[in-house]
Amino acid sequence: MVSDDLSATAITSGLTTHFVGQRTLYYPRLTTTMEAARQEALQGTDEGTVVIAEEQTAARGRLKRTWLSPQGNIALSLVLYPDKDRLYSLTMVASLAVVHSIEMITGLRPQLKWPNDVLLGGKKVCGILIESSVRAEKVDYAIVGIGINVNLDVDSYPEIRPVATTLSHELGREVSRLCLVQCLLREIEHLYLASSAGETVYREWQSRLATLGKAVCVISASGETMSEGTAESVDRDGSLVLRRADGSLTRVLAGDVSLRD
């Protein structure tokens, strides 16, 4: 049997981080961990506070999409207080931390789809959501939400089977969620501190993007096509650089991408 205890005591016991996850709040069931973490941030909670839930009943992903979050997965949100000039790097930090953790715990080799979906075999295994409150030049708080499909039986959910996968499905065995969470928190802290100290995770994040070099459509939150072209590169602020059919370049700051037929 793999270790499946995600209680606050289990997570913090032996956790070697300095601050990420040292205060962990565990809930058997929540509407969303993002909302609970936001309330913690508004009350001035310690940086690195983690809210984790066995099940979310109203989870949302990027672009206000529904995110399936039943028991067997990992659903957590993390409170951070970054400087404004480091806010953009949170997407890179979070997505690389997930990739590193999956590699270390399972041996699988995930890739990234711009801006921050984690893929295995071309299917989504993790989604990341960043929310922040910024006033003038000061970041009040940033919330990093991470949802990883771990031991979910994807065949029981035909609505996501064509586009999503799970770690257990790819491995043919269950994965310890506790080990994965602890590894994830360590990696987030390491990359976050490296980024804040002036080092960059940009190059590795860029090298992990499966999107680059492919013809894509950029889709808005309403489902409309915003732009089409070849994903040529990404800037240091995380924006996608597209080369249009006429040879011109355009930068995309937000949206989602799909491969163009």
Residues 144 and 58 in one domain: yes
Tracing tokens 């565990």 back to the chain, one arrives at 26
pTM: 0.91
Asked if residue 1 belongs to a domain, the reply is no
Q: Are 86 and 195 in contact (CB under 8 A)?
A: yes
Q: What is the pLDDT along the chain (261 residues), one digit of tens a residue?
A: 566 889 999 999 989 999 999 999 999 999 999 999 999 999 999 999 999 999 888 766 544 555 556 678 999 999 999 999 889 899 999 999 999 999 999 999 999 999 889 999 999 999 999 999 998 889 999 999 999 999 988 878 888 788 899 999 999 999 999 999 999 999 999 999 998 776 778 999 999 999 999 998 887 766 677 788 999 999 988 999 999 989 999 888 877 787 665
Q: Which of 43, 141, 128 is nearest to 84 (CA)?
A: 141
Residues 71 and 167 in one domain: yes
Residue-range definition of the domain harbouring residue 140: 8-206
Residues 234 and 156 in one domain: no
Paired with 135 in beta bridges are: 138
Residues 173 and 218 in one domain: no
